Amino acid sequence: MPGKSPRKKQPRELAVIDQHGCTGCEVCIAVCPVDCIEIVPGVEYHENYMKLVEVDLERCIGCKLCAQICPWDTINMHPYEQGLQIAPQHTLRAVVPGQSAAAPA
């Protein structure tokens, strides 16, 4: 995500959010030590409709805090390469349209 510094080294694991179960409660945002979780607004004409969150995989350090605190159990930790591969399958909408998103819902 533009404007944020990159992580210093590749983590062992990445946090991947299954947006199919995400409610947009934003609890994970508060605990992320590197500020790599962003709100993905819903319908373009109304930002607060069905918000989701997305992990910036280029900044995630694999700390597991978001996965531990998610009340909906929609954040899972995956080995680095596997996380990169499966993230698009769990993404309904992305912060940057067309980036790491599967198909629009």
The CA distance from 14 to 80, in Å, is 5
For residues 40 and 51, the answer to whether their CB atoms sit within 8 Å is yes
Per DSSP, the three-state class of 14 is strand
Cβ-Cβ contacts under 8 Å for 17 (sequence gap 6 or more): 28, 37, 52, 53, 54, 55, 74, 75, 90, 91
Q: How many CB atoms lie within 10 A of CB 5?
A: 8
Question: Where in the chain are the domains?
Answer: 13-90
Tens of pLDDT, residue by residue over 4-14, are 777 788 999 99
pLDDT at 101 (0 to 100): 42
Per DSSP, the three-state class of 78 is strand
Spans of the chain below 50 pLDDT:
100-105
pLDDT at 66 (0 to 100): 98
What's the burial of 8, exposed, middle or buried (CB within 10 Å: 0-12/13-18/19+)? Answer: exposed
pLDDT at 85 (0 to 100): 97
Instruction: Evaluate whether the domain defined by 13-90 bears CATH number 3.30.70.20.
Output: yes
Which tokens is 71 given? 């009340």
